[in-house]
Chains A and B, each alone.
Chain A
Amino acid sequence: MIVCFVEGDELSAQAVGFARALGPVRAVTFAGAYQPAAWAAALAAQEAEAIVAAGSDRGNELLAHVAAVLDQPFAANVVALDGDTVMRVRWGGSLLEEARLHGAPKLLTVAPHTQPAVETGEVEVLDAPDDGSPKALERVEESSGGVSLRDAKVVVSGGRGVGSAEGFGVIEELAGLLGGAVGCSRVVTSAGWRPHTDQVGQTGTKISADLYIACGISGATQHIAGAKGAKKILAINSDPEAPILASADYAVIGDLHEVVPAISAELRRVRG
């Protein structure tokens, strides 16, 4: 039996799809406040050949707890499993690792958006007595003005090439015209030009826009790890050799401080 932890979201439905290919699946969940160590203790107590969850914040956290309790290896963000050989994601998706998982039960999470989602079917609610370990006490809503980076249809992003915090004026203008969100690279957040909540990448936000416009961004693999969920990428860069051209669908070679305002002006013109 494969035990699969589900949360009723899209990623869980993908994890169930992955688990079904391994054998009969028992989908399980918990009620009440999230308490990772207690939930994991209950999961670890199940009879199972494998314990599976989505490679989400909670999925990875719970499986790591289960692995610690059972003293077994745990493979995070797996894209394929064949016998005891797993293929898993490294470097935020820029590299894959093939590894042998020497453990029983097999403990793994499923890399997001690498498997089709399926109907989860019946979900059993497991009991997880409060063991006094840390749990989610309250939820504070964040008053975010504007479009969220993660869900925006268009993201206009600036990198070192923008040159300063004030330089983002042209980026904000274009994002505003397109009803999109502003993003940036890590160089920009490290310099304090934009908050980290705007950062796209491996250690920032992973976007899913229809169009990503990367202005003055070189295209480091850690940046692309957050941008590659976009359907199309347009790069605006003064360097015709910039690595981002190998990840982009379209490119304009030129100074972003001229190209970006010209695009805004053209948009206004065609809209009348």
Chain B
Amino acid sequence: MRILVCVKRVPITGGKMVLAADGQALETKHLGFTISPHEECAVEEAVRIGGEVVVLALGPAEAEEQLRDQMAIGADRGILLRTNGEEWDAQSTAAAIVDALRAEEPFDLILFGNESADAAGFQVGIRVAHALGLPVVTGLKKIEVQEGRVRCERDVGGARDVYEAPLPAVLTVLEGLNLPRYPSVPGRLRAKSKPLAVVEPVRPEQRLEKLRLVVPEGQGKQAEILEGATQVVAVMQSLGVA
């Protein structure tokens, strides 16, 4: 099996969203970076299925960190579609991924998160599937690879819908698919010397063009401090839940 997993570098925001002065991005000076939990599960699943696992990110040079983290978990190599840090919309992101794939031997499985952690466009995987003429199933919490096919399950409020697709296929997954491992120290050391290909795609005109970001109202309540169980139960009674 040859499996590609697409991951996106995003900031680890803490208890509060703080915007940069121009309102165009989050202030990330003091933040660490990660990938979406959905994508962590995609990489874990790929490593469990086995074969060659390649991770791809479109992002700034620093996105190499996220690719190395995933190589530490077991991915064999990385592809970085390096940008100058400008934002790419979902259409351009998908097009750049498709272009990069033309330079590769075909993959049997291409995995995505169902939606990215930050922009949450819910679409890059589906766009890539259409461009490559591949079947796609989204929002998965279970994947079973069988001879030339994949059987998968998706949550639908208390039940699961079952889908099947012939390989090669594009799948988008959700956290809960598996419990991703933590990278080991030897894993981290090995990751440093795994191959990383760097490509510089050209950014086309943006068709979903971000103008500014806005922090919604409602952050910054002042909690009423309760002193002990008697007051808590009184509040529960007033809310009608005790």
Contacts and interface: CB of A to CB of B under 8 A. Distances in A.
A99 B165 CA distance: 35
Given A134-B165, A219-B15, A220-B15, A267 B242 contact: yes
Interface band, chain A: 35 or more
A46 interface: no
A97 B160 contact: no
Nearest to B225: A251
Given A37-B136, A251-B223, A148 B229 contact: no
A7 B119 CA distance: 26
Nearest to B130: A68
Given A140-B153, A246-B221, A95 B130 contact: no
A100 B209 contact: yes
B12 to A, nearest CB: 9
Nearest to B211: A98
Given A134-B137, A265-B229, A68 B214 contact: no
Contacts of B28: none
A89 B17 CA distance: 13
Tell me what chain A mostly uses at the interface: helix, strand, loop, or mixed. mixed
Nearest to A192: B179
Most A CB within 10 A of own CB, among B174, B175, B214: B175
A174 B26 CA distance: 38
Interface residues of B, number: 82
A142 B239 CA distance: 32
Contact of B215 (A95, A101, A135): A95
Interface string B120-163: 11110011011100011111000000000000011011111111
B212 interface: yes
Contacts of A100: 208-209, 211
A136 B139 contact: no
A66 to B, nearest CB: 10
A68 B120 contact: no
A64 interface: yes
A232 interface: yes
B100 interface: no
A100 B131 CA distance: 24
Nearest to B113: A203
A92 to B, nearest CB: 7
Nearest to B165: A134
B13 A96 contact: no
A247 B225 contact: no
B159 A141 contact: yes
B233 A252 contact: no
B201 interface: no
Interface in B215-242: 215-216, 218-230, 232-233, 235-237, 239-242
A264 to B, nearest CB: 8
B117 interface: yes
B38 interface: yes
A85 B135 CA distance: 32
Interface centre among A77, A90, A98, A133 (most CB of B within 10 A): A90
A238 interface: no
A204 interface: yes
A120 interface: no
B214 A248 contact: no
Contact of A243 (B16, B120, B130): B16
A245 to B, nearest CB: 5
B106 interface: no
Interface string A73-110: 11111000000010101111111111111110000010
18 contacts: A37-B135, A63-B123, A95-B215, A97-B213, A134-B164, A134-B165, A139-B161, A142-B159, A178-B241, A189-B179, A203-B38, A203-B117, A221-B13, A221-B14, A245-B223, A250-B226, A267-B236, A267-B242
Interface of B: 13-17, 26, 36-38, 89-91, 94, 115, 117-123, 126-127, 129-131, 135-139, 153-154, 156-165, 169, 174-176, 179-180, 206-216, 218-230, 232-233, 235-237, 239-242
Given A148-B158, A190-B180, A222-B117, 14 more contacts: A36-B136, A65-B130, A68-B130, A100-B209, A140-B161, A140-B162, A220-B15, A228-B218, A246-B16, A246-B221, A251-B223, A259-B228, A265-B229, A266-B232
